[in-house]
Amino acid sequence: MKPSMKSRRSTLFAAALMALAGLLALDTAAQAASRIKDLVDIEGIRENQLVGYGLVVGLNGTGDTLNNSPFTLQSLTAMLERLGVNTRGANLRTANVAAVMVTSNLPAFSTQGTRIDVTVSALGDSTSLLGGTLLVTPLLGADGEVYAVAQGSLAIGGFSAEGAAASVTRGVPTVGRIANGALVEREIIYSIAEMTSLRLALRNPDFTTSRRIAQAINAFIGSAVAEPLDPATVRFTMPETSDKSIVGLLTDIEQLRIEPDQPAKVVIDEQSGIIVMGRDVRVSQVAVAQGNLTVTITETPQVSQPAPLSEGETVVVPRTQVTVDDENNGQLAVVESGVTLHELVDALNALGIGPRDMISILQTIKAAGALQAEIEVM
């Protein structure tokens, strides 16, 4: 007997659903993996910190007090002398100038003439940099060489206002930012195109992740060009038979996806009560009891007044009520061996435990040797 048209359609529909479910499962697994680009830094491609000392002018009376900030007075005097103004021996009382530190990061492969952002921070007793303009400030690297020059009007995110008896401050008015405020004057030479070997530095060192990165690169290239040197480093050597440059190969390698591996860890921030647990945290069989003893003391003083036309005095009579709540005592839960993170959290939440108590319980389970994970307290 031939199957009916309706049954054939049902069979095809079910097969399509199964295929779609398989594709979704593969897509989910692919999304769970991370790109090598997001896991490593390439040796030599890095930012460099720059710092400089300068003056901000044009403040509305919120600058440094020159008597309290001798460095501001010296800098102002030296700047005016360079401009042909002699102020030696003069009693300067301006409050519109502030000494500042200027910081910035020089991106990798920045060329001459490109612009970078700078951050300006007050150094003296200035109360606000609002409305100020940074004068020409050389920015130096760790080697003492000038790599950029900054100048421009400040953008301040905070403000400060005060009256005779009150004041209000929002944000930090003594720190400002100049978008594209510095001009790069010197380049840091790094010829990556001429290199035949380089190292990939893992942002989260791990033996397994390092090996998986090397295996993924070797499988993509088709030869053993990558080698894990340690948990934090993978060495990549340019294959001799490749028709691509090292930049082109790195572009392809960055898009390869692997599943990173990390040791089981529980990170605890005791100040805020935040707990972060990795997915590989496991717990051996252990019994957990949690009980809170709450003592409440209530003061309700009463006023006792004498009878009318009597010679008594009005007095305050103390009334104190003390209650003890230990209803949560005796709660006991058994956590089975080898439970997962989700099961552990569910078991602790079943006891009505808050983050603070959970921190103490996790530390106690670790002390008992039942928590197969590292605890890091921030």
In the chain, the N- to C-terminal Cα span, in Å, equals 73
The answer to whether 59 and 130 have CB atoms below 8 angstroms apart is yes
Residue carrying structure tokens 């090598």: 36
Pairing of strands 159-162, 167-170: antiparallel
pLDDT, average across residues 18-29: 45
What's phi and psi for 201, nearest 5 deg?
A: -100, 120
Which position has the higher pLDDT, 292 or 207?
207
**Would you state the pLDDT for residue 292?**
56
Q: Which helix (H) or strand (E) holds 334?
A: strand 332-335
pLDDT, average across residues 232-258: 89
Extended strands (E) in 141-248: 146-153, 155-156, 159-162, 167-170, 175-184, 197-202, 226-230, 233-237
**Would you state the pLDDT for residue 378?**
78
Q: Is the pLDDT of residue 371 over 90?
A: no
Can you give the C-alpha Rg of the chain in angstroms?
34
The answer to whether 275 and 358 have CB atoms below 8 angstroms apart is yes
Residues 6+ apart with CB under 8 A from 146: 138, 139, 140, 185, 186
- Extract the tokens encoding 109: 């492969």
The pTM is what?
0.67
Which position has the higher pLDDT, 321 or 225?
225
Average pLDDT of the chain to the nearest whole number: 80
